[in-house]
């Protein structure tokens, strides 16, 4: 059964870098899927951060939300079968529950959805 598990520090200082990993079990990070990051705040709701696919270059192919693009890096660690998220120059507005999620097979001509999701991890930005 496919499972995604986020992990990382629950507290990050302002102006610092938020770093999270998403461990994938039951599927290969090198399979034909897009691995995504989504965050959720009480104020802005669900917000897509970005995604990565293992093909296209040595570091994979990425797409990012334009509103976060300047601060975000998503990468894959094939040896550990996990995805990583880095968000730099964080502020209190980046306090959120961060989820990883899979888009199975990518967006086809007939469907595009996140399934499954990890359970999420709360990251608080505070000094």
- Of residues 64-103, which lie at the interface with another protein (CB under 8 A)? 65-67, 99, 101
Cα(76)–Cα(54) distance, integer angstroms: 7
Indicate the residue among 11 and 46 with the shorter CB distance to another protein: 46
Rounded to the nearest whole angstrom, what is the least distance from the CB of residue 65 to another protein in the complex? 4
Q: Which of residues 2-31 bind another protein (CB under 8 A)?
A: none
Give the shortest CB-67-to-another protein separation in angstroms. Answer: 7
Residue the block writes with tokens 């502020």: 91
Cis, peptide link before residue 88, omega less than 30° from 0: no
What single string gives the DSSP state of each residue in 34-45? EEEEEEEETTTE
3-state secondary structure of 69: helix
- Cβ proximity to another protein, 115 vs 127, nearer residue: 115
Contact status: 122 vs another protein (CB under 8 A): no
Q: Classify 21 as helix, strand or coil.
A: strand
Select 45 or 79, whichever has its Cβ closest to another protein. Answer: 45
Q: 118, 115, 90: which is closest to 33 by C-alpha?
A: 115
Is residue 121 at the binding interface for another protein, with CB under 8 A as the rule? Answer: no
H-helix or E-strand spanning residue 59: none
Per rule CB under 8 A, is residue 58 in the interface with another protein? no
- Residues near another protein (CB under 8 A): 36, 38, 45-48, 51, 63, 65-67, 99, 101, 107, 109-120
């Amino acid at each position: 059964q496919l499972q995604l598990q986020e992990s990382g520090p629950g507290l990050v200082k302002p102006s610092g870098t938020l770093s999270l990993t998403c461990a994938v079990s039951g599927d290969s990070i090198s399979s034909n899927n897009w691995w995504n990051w989504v965050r959720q705040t009480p104020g802005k709701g669900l917000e897509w951060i970005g995604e990565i696919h293992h093909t296209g270059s040595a570091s994979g192919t990425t797409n990012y939300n334009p509103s976060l693009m300047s601060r975000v890096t998503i990468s894959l660690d094939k040896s550990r079968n996990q995805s990583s998220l880095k968000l730099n120059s964080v502020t209190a507005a980046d306090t959120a529950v961060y989820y990883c999620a899979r888009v199975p097979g990518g967006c086809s001509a007939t469907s595009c959805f996140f399934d499954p999701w990890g359970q999420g991890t709360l990251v608080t930005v505070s000094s």
